[in-house]
Amino acid sequence: QSVLTQPPSVSGAPGQRVTISCTGSSSNLGTGYDVHWYQQLPGTAPKVLIYGNTNRPSGVPDRFSGSKSGTSASLAITGLQAEDEADYYCQSYDSSLSGWVFGGGTKLTVL
Amino acid sequence: QLQLQESGPGLVKPSETLSLTCTVSGGSISYYYWTWIRQPPGKGLEWIGYFYYSGNTNYNPSLKSRVTISIDTSKNQLSLKLTSVTAADTAIYYCARVVDTEGYYYRPWGQGTLVTVSS
């Protein structure tokens, strides 16, 4: 059981908008710790997609956006493309565990 | 451009020690946080621990009694040792640099190395 909770899967048709939630608690997101999002394409290492809740590294399309409020965060993907089919993970810090934690991951399927 | 490459035995026997190295190129291993993360086949990511250039370390409480992370600045390498391994330690092991602005996140990652624990 992950400290950060994500839906196991989401899906959407090309061109649509999907969101992936990341739910934490008062010992992580609720305390104000930043959340970061990673995309893992099949057979590859994860890469950071969103850092510091809302920031995109250079090279990441603006179709990807992040938000955070209270004990929850979300990753939104607009204009879905086939190449977006991947696993997505949220990550933050947990004060109870005194360490970094990941969500369980969400598999995005582009229909 | 910073690049990381993990290396080490792909097969380790139960009860033995898993030892991996992460070679950093394109930059110095000093002045940063460095971390190890693992991913069992078909499963999610698990943070193992980090090493800060000052010598500070922090480990996942579930692995703390078995893990040691260190760096060799002369070789620009990060290392991971995990003792008393079992089949549950079978995973792809990744090293990554930790960026400590706007929180702490991992960029870049190595390509990962698969370690199988089996007799």
Closest Cβ–Cβ partner in A45, A97, A105 for B109: A45
Quick check: A86 contacting B, CB < 8 Å?
no
- For residues A101 and A76, is the Cβ–Cβ distance under 8 A? no
Q: What distance in Å separates the CA atoms of residue B82 and residue B60, rounded to the nearest whole number?
A: 12
Closest Cβ–Cβ partner in B35, B45, B58 for A89: B45
Two structure tokens written together for B75? 């070789």
Q: Compute the nearest-CA separation of B10 from chain A (Å).
A: 17
Q: Where does the pLDDT of residue A59 fall: very low under 50, low under 70, confident under 90, or very high at 90 and above? A: very high
Cα separation of the two ends of chain A = 28
What average pLDDT is seen over chain A?
Answer: 96
Please give the average per-residue pLDDT across A37-66, as a whole number. 97
Higher pLDDT, A1 or A88: A88
Q: Residue B102 pLDDT more than 90?
A: no
Please give the average per-residue pLDDT across B26-54, as a whole number. 94
E strands, chain B, are: 3-7, 11-12, 18-25, 33-39, 46-52, 57-59, 67-72, 77-82, 91-99, 105-109, 113-117
The SS3 call for residue B45 is: coil
- For residues B108 and B2, is the Cβ–Cβ distance under 8 A? yes
- For residues B50 and B98, is the Cβ–Cβ distance under 8 A? yes
